[in-house]
Copies of this chain bind each other. A is one copy, B any other.
Amino acid sequence: MRTVTKDTITQAFLDYCGAETDPRLRFVLEKFVTHLHDFVRETNLTHAEWRKGLELIEKAGDITTPERNEFVLMSDVLGLSSLVDMVNSPDEGTPSSVLGPFHILGAPDLPVGGDMKQDNEGAAVIVSGKVCDPEGAPIKGAEIEVWQTADNGLYSNQDNSQAEYNLRCHLVLGDDGIYKLSTIRPAPYTVPDDGPVGELLHATGRHPWRPSHLHFIITAPGYRSLVTEVFPSDDPYLDEDAVFGVRERLVMEYVEQSDVIAIPDGMEIAERLQAPFFTVDFDFVLTEEKA
């Protein structure tokens, strides 16, 4: 190893990995280190650039808290998170999309048809649909987690004026796979751009806007868990999402309703909704978990 050169160092790294290395770990590391080393060789990366990169990562570490994960955000704006979603998304079924940095555990239970809107300001929306298999049959035992921004474009964990679990809920569905809840239209928002991710965005002339969306996690026994987002078809940022999360099949129409009759049966919120309000209908198609 005392004769390591820029052309032999990648093999030297691989030779260091002992026989006890897990084969998958070895494969992933081989690809990772080969690409990392090729990147340095192809760019002749300078010490100043290496330090700048480390400095960005250190700043990301400094700014990361349980409420704000700058590393996830960096992964998002580089397209890494979306790409991991895409290489793991089966061709059939509803596409996945980024989890994002604002998910928190412990969202409160809401009955199907329940009201997540509560006292939040904003245009009222009734979201409904079903969780089904690729043939359209309802899936039993499905659960849904939902979270979104308030009308000011902030999630509850970014905004002290909101209750801890504002606009977050967890639904346990019946055997019919039907979900419905009332909420507000989510607002477009900017990803935090006051840290190293913002530095990267500004340096490359990128804006930090994401199109408005609802986040969902859908689980059911025997099926692949689905982490996804759905977007209103009239959002101005659909074609320039800062985190590459939009998929054509995740864009859905918000239908403006002026008649109270459009409210589905069994909605808690019915008596409190004032026209105009919106309805949006969207089915989640899960695929079977591979053995």
Residues of A within 8 A of B (CB): 1-6, 9-10, 12-13, 16-22, 25-29, 31-33, 35-47, 49-50, 54, 57-58, 60-62, 64, 69, 71-72, 75, 78-88, 203-206, 227, 238-241, 244, 246-248, 251
Contact = CB atoms under 8 A, between A and B. Distances in A.
B206 A18 contact: yes
Contacts of A87: 6, 40-41, 44-45
A54 B86 CA distance: 18
A83 B41 contact: yes
B241 A1 contact: yes
A238 B88 CA distance: 43
A6 to B, nearest CB: 4
Contacts of A27: 43
Given A12-B79, A50-B81, A45 B29 contact: no
Contacts of A36: 35, 78, 80
B45 A84 contact: yes
A146 B123 CA distance: 66
Contacts of A13: 78-79, 244
25 contacts: A1-B239, A1-B241, A1-B244, A4-B82, A16-B204, A17-B204, A18-B205, A18-B206, A22-B203, A27-B43, A28-B49, A32-B39, A33-B79, A37-B79, A37-B83, A40-B83, A40-B84, A41-B83, A44-B88, A46-B84, A50-B80, A54-B71, A57-B71, A58-B64, A61-B64
A46 B87 CA distance: 8
A12 B239 CA distance: 10
B17 A79 contact: no
B82 A9 contact: yes
Query: What are the 10 tightest A-B residue pairs by CB atom distance, in nearest-first order?
Result: A18-B205, A61-B61, A35-B35, A6-B86, A17-B204, A2-B246, A50-B84, A20-B205, A35-B39, A1-B239
Nearest to A64: B61
Contacts of A238: 1-2
Residue of A6, A60, A205 with highest tally of chain B CB at under 10 A: A6
B204 A29 contact: yes
Nearest to A87: B44
A78 to B, nearest CB: 6
